[in-house]
Structure 1
């Protein structure tokens, strides 16, 4: 039976930016599908949202493959009777100097962070209603605009995600499907902790006009804006949520 509530699948939403986005969308009346490879993360996120009065459904799938994202989207449709939104948030990141880049690192980062976005767009578009359309938001990065040492693969992938966003927006616009991206700067999360240190954080803060690092809620609110009707005439855009560091001369 079809629900009256909009439904959204958020990949990699067991923690970090994805989980914060799920919580914000749930408070706005969306049914949120929590996806992660780790069942315990999914269970925790679903329980937290349910305890706050929201509606969340668990989807444990490997969304780096076409088969996995197809199964995840099918699970949402089966559970709710509709599919209105996708947030391509899942990522796996390793920073390596060019001489040290390993094939297995490239393959895994591409599978999750680039190919997975393609398969997600394809599966979501196929599941969206012909009249209602839908909304897709891809999580890119400030690294897609400005790079740093040891980030060749990551920066390339995130720049590629921006290109996918624009191309999908052009092709899917006639079907009333909007496709945008959010490009965060460095945001402390469980997943980024091992790549951060106090000296690097202090340097980033000093170079950021707003004088602080972003939070998962900062990025979640940007994603929510692009998912909601307030942005109904916006598509193919990359919204920088970076405190201004991308425009500052350092």
Structure 2
């Protein structure tokens, strides 16, 4: 037993890409993983194929506050506890600043930022009763670097970074740790919808390690932040970017 068996984690946006890799890694580390996504097919496939049968699919819209509350109530009723949440869900669209429209702003803020508020608000009372918990958010280098066409994405990920630091300070006295991963360029299916091969070559050339990241690279860092090894780590933005 590695100290994590019996612990329960909710991973949002787990239907593919980085979220799927995080769910698989935590399941292999003996967590019970609640894989959340609007894409029922993706998370059901994940649950069927995951090692040890430790992944359970939960279709939900994380932009819906009431839906998030219902999800957490159901998880606690079924498994008796929740120990961590990974706020990975994101909807990414790129456009020149002057072409950004209301639908793009509202959609990206709802999935990338509001959802992190709803999971945090809903889970904190449970964490307090248990004596602590861990929250891991996903930010981005775009929060502090300029990338053409990424104004909304950059703004959302900057807000996520700020929320992480503020929440760590506010929730720390309750034993609740809040950290964020800042991933480098990881060519997932979703990311490839907005970044082409040429764009990824530029990103690869900017990294000290001269390679792109993989979903497993990010999953390993998340596994550390939710583990007992990170029990004295909070309010930290962990860059997993190959030296970008």
TM-score (norm 1): 0.93
1:38 lines up with 2:19 in the alignment: no
Query: What aligned pairs does 1:141-156 form with structure 2 within 5 A after superposition?
Result: 141-156=140-155
SS of the residue corresponding to residue 130 of structure 1 reads helix
SS of the residue corresponding to residue 131 of structure 2 reads coil
> What is the aligned residue count?
241
**C-alpha deviations, 1:212-243, integer Å up to 9, x for none?**
00000000111111010111101011001110
Matches of 1:28 and 1:227 in 2, distance apart? 11
* Structure 1: 4+ residue segments shifted above 3 A: none
Matches of 2:197 and 2:17 in 1, distance apart? 20
More off after superposition, 191-200 vs 205-214: 191-200
Matches of 1:63 and 1:107 in 2, distance apart? 14
Q: Which runs of 5+ in 1 are unaligned?
A: 246-250
The offset of 1:200, in angstroms, is 1.5
Matches of 2:105 and 2:114 in 1, distance apart? 12
The offset of 1:131, in angstroms, is 4.2
SS of the residue corresponding to residue 128 of structure 1 reads helix
SS of the residue corresponding to residue 189 of structure 2 reads coil
The offset of 1:151, in angstroms, is 0.9
**C-alpha deviations, 1:80-124, integer Å up to 9, x for none?**
011100000000011111111010110011111011111111112
Contact kept, 8 Å, 2:185 with 2:204, in 1: the verdict is no
The offset of 1:129, in angstroms, is 4.6
The answer for the alignment partner of 2:202 in structure 1 is 203
1:103 lines up with 2:102 in the alignment: yes
Contact kept, 8 Å, 1:61 with 1:71, in 2: the verdict is no
More off after superposition, 158-167 vs 131-140: 131-140
The Cα RMSD (Å) is 1.4
The answer for the alignment partner of 1:175 in structure 2 is 174
Matches of 1:143 and 1:60 in 2, distance apart? 29
TM-score (norm 2): 0.95
Q: Which runs of 5+ in 2 are unaligned?
A: none
Contact kept, 8 Å, 1:61 with 1:69, in 2: the verdict is yes
